[in-house]
Structure 1
Amino acid sequence: MLRTVIIDDDHLSRTILKKTFEKCFENVILEGEADSVASGLELINRVNPNLVFLDIKLPDGTGFDLIEKLGNTDFKLIFTTAYSEYAIKAFKYSAFDYIVKPIVPDDIKASLNRINQVSSASTLPRVRAMRDNLFGSSEEANATIALPELNGFSIVRIDDIERCEGERNYSRIFFKDGTETLVSRTLMEFENLLAHHGFCRIHRSHLINLKNVVRYLKSGGGMVEMRSGEMLKVSSKYKDELLNRLLHNRL
């Protein structure tokens, strides 16, 4: 059974969530509702839920404030949000599930059917990562991304990634310190997430951090040398964009 609470100041959203639970999910037991950070804190501490639906914007603060006050938590977290589509990248960066308002039953069903993929581990650092990516970190170098692992997620600094290499439905992430990890996300997903952080697609299999390019070579149709010493082929499809960004310092 999923002991569930809803923390959202929108009465209609709470009503739609409750009715969907009642009609479609016998394993979801609603333990209570709250409409603010203060009442949400009291509710969570009192009922100890294992699933929380949390709005980002609340009358007395944000959902981020609530998680900060709780500290490390062990419940699964699904955000409800009215933020526009471009900001949804922040949720993907941080590996949280979310429902976009106005809430409709089909979105709730899809989210609950994915519940086993929603991690309850390391909630606080992932919330901080999402907050930074949504509202902006004080320094670009502090921007982070959550990478799915077998038993949860790891939070890494985007600036520490040298490049990503596509392997069908997976991507291998190479870090500046020489380590690497295989992640169950496509290269296109990483391209969409990292394009505004100085990453550039140079080949169907390669996405690179332009800050780590030390040399471009014309030989072989185009090659880049990375700071690690790795030599990578540049596809003709991506060459113009790469050269434009390198020559005009559009990192």
Structure 2
Amino acid sequence: MKTLQVIIVEDEFHSRETLKAFLTEYCPQVELVETASNVEEAIEKISSLRPNLVFMDIELQTGTGFDVIQQVKHLDFHLIFTTAFEHYAIKAIKYSSIDYLLKPIDLDELLAAVQKVNALIASESRQHMLENLLTNFQISNPENRRICLSTAEGMEFIPANHISFCEANGSYTDFHLTDNRKLVVSKNLKEYETLLADMNFMRVHNSFLINLDEVKKFIKSEGGYIVMNNDKQVSISNSKREEFMKRMGI
């Protein structure tokens, strides 16, 4: 297993020391090469040491973790954010498939995040993930954000408004896109229902989460179903009909 060279960017002494202790004791694949406590120090150390992985507090003494990412020239590292609260930026982070840990850091969640980085270490997508994160963070309209979807072939960055509907497929989710492509992603539908909650998406059935902007028509007969703009049919639960019709202005 390849050693992960790690930099911790954290301005709180206790949080920094706790993370250092966890990594030293429980993550033998990690080599802690440096720490930083402010934006300027973080930029200098990341740029000169070129780590594989950076743990980054969102709020720092002289700015934010996003200030660091915007000013580092080489986005060739994996990133795990740390934060003490549900930060306004968490949504942009989730869209971009970047991990984050809530403080106080839970050891099991930390180990899972490091294991995920190990699995991705050979991937060439990390620069695209960080660039996508910066783009999503700067976009005020959620519908214009791109979602990072991890498929068997690699990472795909899809504008949210290019999603027609999502379909449950066991512990997987099938993304049906407006160009008629289908992407299979190894997360369940509930995760995407939460992620897309502030966009114009609705869970209309246990198996379906739809983009309401992509609805072509609603057929009331035969138990009722929805036809999307790509002419695919989606089931609707009786319990969801009233909410669906209200949101569609019917």
Which range, TM-score by smaller chain? Answer: 0.7 to 0.9
Partner of 1:78: 80
Task: Using the TM superposition, name which of 11-20 and 90-99 deviates more.
Answer: 90-99
Give the alignment's Cα RMSD to 1 decimal: 2.4
State the 1:139 CA deviation.
Answer: 3.3
Partner of 1:43: 45
Q: How does 1:157-236 map to 2 (within 5 A)?
A: 157-236=159-238
1:87–1:244: structure 2 CA closer, same or farther, 3 Å change rule? farther
Identify the structure with the greater helix proportion: 1
Task: Using the TM superposition, name which of 139-148 and 218-227 deviates more.
Answer: 139-148
State the 1:3 CA deviation.
Answer: 1.1
Unaligned runs of 5+ in 2: none
2:202–2:209 CA contact under 8 A, matched in 1: yes
Q: How does 1:10-159 map to 2 (within 5 A)?
A: 10-84=12-86, 88-118=90-120, 121-131=124-134, 137-150=139-152, 152-159=154-161
CA deviation string 1:140-196 (max 9, x = no partner): 442221101235422111011111111111111111122221111111111111122
Distance 1:207 1:88 in 2: 22
Letter in 1 for 2:30: V
2:143–2:199 CA contact under 8 A, matched in 1: no
TM-score normalised by structure 1 residue count = 0.87
Describe the SS at the equivalent of 1:99.
Answer: strand
Unaligned runs of 5+ in 1: none
Describe the SS at the equivalent of 1:232.
Answer: strand
State the 1:91 CA deviation.
Answer: 3.1
Letter in 2 for 1:184: S
1:71–1:124 CA contact under 8 A, matched in 2: no
Q: How many residues align?
A: 247
